[in-house]
Amino acid sequence: MAIHPIEERYGRPKVRWIFDEENKLQKILLVEAALARAHAAVGNIPKKAAEAISEKASTKYVKVSRVKDIEAETHHDVMAVVKALSEQCGEAGKYVHLGATSNDITDTAMALQFKDYIVFLLEDLTHLKKVLLRQAEEHRKTVCIGRTHAQHSIPTTYGLKFAIYACEVQRHIDRVNECRERLLVGQMTGAVGTQASFRDKGIRIQEIIMKDLGLCPVMVSNQVIQRDRHAEFMLILALIAETLNKIATEIRNLQRTEIGEVSEGFREKQVGSSTMPHKRNPIYAERICGLSRVIKADAVASLDNIALWHERDLTNSSCERIIIPEACILTDYVLRTGIDLIDNLVFDPDAIERNLNLSGGKVMAESLMITLVEKGMGRQEAHELLRTIAMESYEKKIAYRDLLVKNREIAKWLKPRDIDTALDPKSYIGTAVEQVDNVIEKLR
């Protein structure tokens, strides 16, 4: 029976498999096998023993159930694996785990899991960037009202909104690639990092193992790979989730009945409410926002795993068993949900136009100010004049244009046709289209 939603509700099976207990065990066995081969390479153990260990280092032989049975007796997870593998290897079993400490194996195995996961993460981020760029291109000239402090400000374009998001996603791609060399590292350094158990061959053994596994060796460690590496990656996942939170929050706001400019795609048989038949709720955007909180919380917990006692304690272990699979699987899920959400957005041109003109022209006050300055009026004088007229428009419920054309001071500088030109929202988007085109060219 599933307990955690990531077991059946959230996340793709192929991503969940990376963190499945059987796959985790297989990664641990791969490290144990690589350790045996390294010992054989430097002459510490017979080559045939390493071959026997390598052959049996598979969940085909070492079963999760057997490991659990042994752990129930030993109360030590890695020692349970060592015993389960050793009993499959016959005489060669006496060489299993030679010189290693538990985290040499588990931390290196976790790096192998991260290595697999990052493939999907970069794939998701690239796909998300692609759909954002498509929306940016399609709506490069879709003029809409901009909002600051949740109030109408001046016109912008939907293309610019999506171009901003696409640039943010590109930064996440860059962060993941930059972090990868710090995250995908393994260690074989013994109980406190001195490699004393490997005598004078420790550095060579570590190099052989990591080359075998396709990882980089740590430069130095104690009993564990230092957790700043993992915390950095978890914070990147949190940043990715918060970008999706930001996009989803914007969509939720724009789908509000009073705004109605953009909405989630609504499937033919989709139900919005169990009691209100008319509802079309932004459930996917809301789900993204909700799950982003969990991913962010996991990242915060990862920071506490950095400060372990002395050469290490065990406080990070129980925490990481939860937060790392959870954050990775949920990040994959919100990315996939975000891709689908953005790819299937529905735009309402009438609502966009209605809201653009909702203020009766007051949102074009800056445009008028710039026009007055170009005609020769001082900037501060123009600002105060237009602010006073705007406040009168609010208070007396009189159209802004009507007050402008009747104002004697305005009339000294602008004709009615100049006012109408300055009041046209579509003529006041600056270089927005050019900026979007530049983003599309650079990010594609």
What is the structure's pLDDT at 266? 72
- Residue percentage of the chain with pLDDT more than 90: 93
Catalytic residue among 4, 76, 153, 273: 273
pLDDT at 279: 66
CA pair distance 37, 209, nearest whole angstrom: 8
Work out the average pLDDT over 351-355: 97
396 CB burial (10 A radius; 0-12, 13-18, 19+): exposed
The DSSP annotation for 214-238 comes to T-EEPSS-SSS--THHHHHHHHHHH
Distance in angstroms (rounded) separating the CA atoms of residues 180 and 397: 59
Instruction: Give the length of the chain.
Output: 444
Residue listed under structure tokens 């989630």: 264
How far, in Å, CA of 170 to CA of 234, rounded? Answer: 18
Helix (H, G, I), strand (E, B) or coil at 385: helix
User: What Cα–Cα distance (Å) separates residue 349 from each residue in 254, 342, 352, 373?
Assistant: 13, 17, 5, 33
Name which of 145-154, 223-232, 278-287 the model is least confident about.
278-287
Is the CATH code 3.40.50.1700 the one for domain 101-263+280-358? no
Active-site option among 75, 149, 278, 310: 149
- Pull the structure tokens for residue 78: 């890695």
Candidate from 46-55, 278-287, 311-320, 372-381 with smallest mean pLDDT: 278-287
One-letter amino acid identity for 112? L
pLDDT surpassing 90 at residue 159: yes
> What topology is assigned to 362-422 in CATH?
Ribonucleotide Reductase Protein R1; domain 1 (1.10.40)
Contact 252, 285 (CB under 8 A): yes
Q: Whole-angstrom Cα distance, residue 203 to residue 272?
A: 61
CB atoms under 10 Å from CB of 333, counted, come to 23
- By 3-state DSSP, what share of the chain in percent is helix, strand and coil, each rounded to 5? 70, 5, 30
Instruction: Provide, rounded to the nearest whole percent, the portion of the chain with pLDDT above 70.
Output: 99
Average pLDDT of span 170-181:
97
Question: Can you tell me the mean pLDDT for 10-15?
Answer: 94
The residue ranges of DSSP E strands in 81-198, in sequence order, are 143-148, 151-157, 185-186
Residue bearing tokens 């953009």:
262
Cβ–Cβ < 8 Å for 133, 127: no
Is residue 278 flagged as an active site residue? no
- Domain 14-98, second-level architecture: Orthogonal Bundle (1.10)
Q: Is 273 a catalytic residue?
A: yes
Q: How confident is the model at residue 6, as a pLDDT?
A: 85
Under the banding of pLDDT at 50, 70 and 90, the label for residue 267 is confident
User: Would you place residue 270 in the very low, low, confident or very high pLDDT band (cuts 50, 70, 90)?
Assistant: confident
Alpha-carbon distance of 274 to 129, in angstroms, equals 35
Which candidate, 86, 101, 117, 143, places its Cα nearest to that of 12? 117
Largest CA distance in the chain: 103
Catalogue the long-range contacts made by 368-373 (C-beta closer than 8 Å, 24 or more residues apart): 368/404, 368/414, 368/419, 368/422, 368/423, 370/422, 371/414, 371/418, 371/421, 371/422, 372/410, 372/413, 372/414
Tokens of 369: 């100010």
Q: For the chain, which residues make up each domain, given as ranges?
A: 14-98, 101-263+280-358, 362-422
Question: Which residues, 6 or more positions from 326, have their beta carbon under 8 angstroms from its beta carbon?
Answer: 4, 6, 294, 295, 298
Confidence of residue 1 (pLDDT cuts 50, 70, 90): confident
Return all residues near 69 (Cβ < 8 A) that are at least 6 apart. none
**pLDDT (average), residues 44-55:** 98
On the CB side of 146, CA atoms within 13 Å amount to 17
Cα 260 to Cα 315: distance, rounded to the nearest angstrom = 49
Residue linked to tokens 């501060």: 380
Q: Using 50, 70 and 90 to split pLDDT, how confident is the model at 3?
A: confident
pLDDT for 7 equals 82
Which backbone phi and psi does 200 adopt, to 5 degrees?
Answer: -95, 10
